[in-house]
Each structure stands twice: as structure tokens, then as C-alpha cells.
């Protein structure tokens, strides 16, 4: 009987830890806001002969931030630029795999 009670206690403990929210929270006058950051890399295509801008304004799925131009190359028909930086979410945002890259 003790084993059954111990097993149930261990199961309930595991459920509590597995369902606990993850992230950091800040309180501002009674409202709760979740704040997270992630690093993203974006590939952007431009018409041939274009010099890409030095910054890229990122605003996707709740994530926002300013990315900086890392490098660009000229292909036969277009220019491709790589932007990288940290974006921030305040509220509910889509969460992808760590180190994910978005390509356009």
C-alpha cells in the first residue's frame, strides 16, 4: 500500500513540474506581461544593382526589433542580404526552434 501511495505522490509531483509556466514575468500596476528575446537571421532579396539598407525592421508573429546588415552578395538576377539581431516579445508570441532562421 505504501508503494501505491508513493507512486501516486511521485506522479502528481511530476505533473506539477511539467505543467508549470516557463518564462519571466514582470508586473506593472496590476497587469502581468511576459518578456522574452531571441536572435533571428533574415535573408532579404532586392533588385539587381540595389545596395541593401543597413537595418531591417523585424515585425513578425509578435516579435519586434531592428536587425543589422551582416553581409550581402550579388547573384545574377538579384541582391541577397543577410540581417541578424535580437527581437523582443511582450505578450503572446509564436515560439520556434532555438536558432531558427527565416528565409524570404
What pLDDT, in 10s, does the model give residues 66-88? 999 999 999 999 999 999 999 99
Q: How far apart are CA 6 and CA 14, in angstroms?
A: 12
Selection from 4-13, 29-38, 65-74 with the highest mean pLDDT: 65-74
Which residue carries 516557463 as its cell? 22
Residue 13: strand, helix, or coil: helix
Confidence of residue 34 (pLDDT cuts 50, 70, 90): low
Looking at the DSSP bridge assignments, the partners of residue 66 are: 57
Residues 68, 54 contacting (CB under 8 angstroms): yes
CA dihedral 57, 46, 94, 85 (to 10 degrees): -50
With 80 as the cut, is the pLDDT of residue 65 above it?
yes
**What pTM was computed for the model?**
0.59
Amino acid at each position: 500500500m505504501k508503494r501505491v501511495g508513493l507512486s501516486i505522490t511521485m506522479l502528481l509531483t511530476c505533473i506539477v513540474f511539467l505543467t508549470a509556466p516557463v518564462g519571466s514575468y514582470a508586473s506593472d500596476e496590476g497587469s502581468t506581461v511576459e518578456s522574452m528575446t531571441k536572435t533571428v537571421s533574415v535573408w532579404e532579396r532586392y533588385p539587381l544593382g540595389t545596395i541593401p539598407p543597413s537595418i531591417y525592421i523585424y515585425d513578425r508573429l509578435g516579435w519586434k526589433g531592428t536587425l543589422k546588415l551582416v553581409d550581402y552578395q550579388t547573384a545574377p538576377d538579384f541582391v541577397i542580404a543577410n540581417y541578424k539581431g535580437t527581437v523582443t516579445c511582450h505578450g503572446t508570441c509564436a515560439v520556434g526552434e532555438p536558432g531558427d532562421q527565416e528565409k524570404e
